[in-house]
Amino acid sequence: MARFVDLHPENPQPRLLTQVAEGLRNDELIAYPTDSGYALGCRIGNRDGRDRILKIRGLDDKHHFTLMCRDFSQLGQFVHVNNSAFRAIKAATPGPYTFILPATPEVPRRLMHPKKKTVGVRIPDHVFVQALLDELGEPILTSTLILPGEDEARTQGWEIKEELEHVVDVVVEAGETPAQPTTVVDWSEGGPEVLRYGAGDPTRFES
């Protein structure tokens, strides 16, 4: 039975933030709000959590996972960023973008794309997520909460609690959550390629 944690959207209660972070450290799987809908998240080293995310979403091992990062400095520990990508990504973050980049050795192989050795990264513009990342001290392994047969991320914590309470450990509520997904930019081949048009302005990455 999943726990339901209701946090203030602008001033998340430190005690509750600590509870959610401790749950992640104890290898719990959480459903949490971001600046682009709800996501499923676990600790990077949580092997079972990764498999649970794939099962809930009905995905295979080729799924591109995303590392939710606190800031650009943390992002740079997990992906290789060339000079042109550095300037453009830094200017666009925090915000509703996901960038696919070559992974560094800090990323476990099971989280990389099996052939390209890439991983998604993003820096959210969301008070709760930033506070949680600060409390946790490491990125969160993340995948948008889109269930099989659906094409939009969930936005209501109580609905997720009712539907997924036996397959996740924690459901976080933290105010209104937008439904529009991130704009996905693949920068693994040297230059930007927009793979998905979402909330982030794609024109800055189009020639």
Strands 37-43 and 30-34, by their bridges, are antiparallel
Percent helix / strand / coil, the chain, rounded to 5: 30, 25, 45
Domain ranges of the chain: 3-205
Q: If we measure between CA atoms, which residue out of 119, 84, 125 comes closest to residue 100?
A: 119
Whole-structure pTM value = 0.95
CATH architecture of 3-205: Alpha-Beta Complex (3.90)
| 8 Å CB contact between 90 and 76 | no
For residue 90, what are the CA distances in angstroms to 64, 79, 195? Answer: 21, 14, 19
pLDDT in tens, the chain (207 residues): 999 999 999 999 999 999 999 999 999 999 999 999 999 999 999 999 999 999 999 998 888 899 999 999 999 999 999 988 999 999 999 999 999 999 999 999 999 988 899 999 999 999 999 999 999 999 999 999 999 999 888 999 999 999 999 999 999 999 889 888 899 999 998 899 999 999 999 999 986
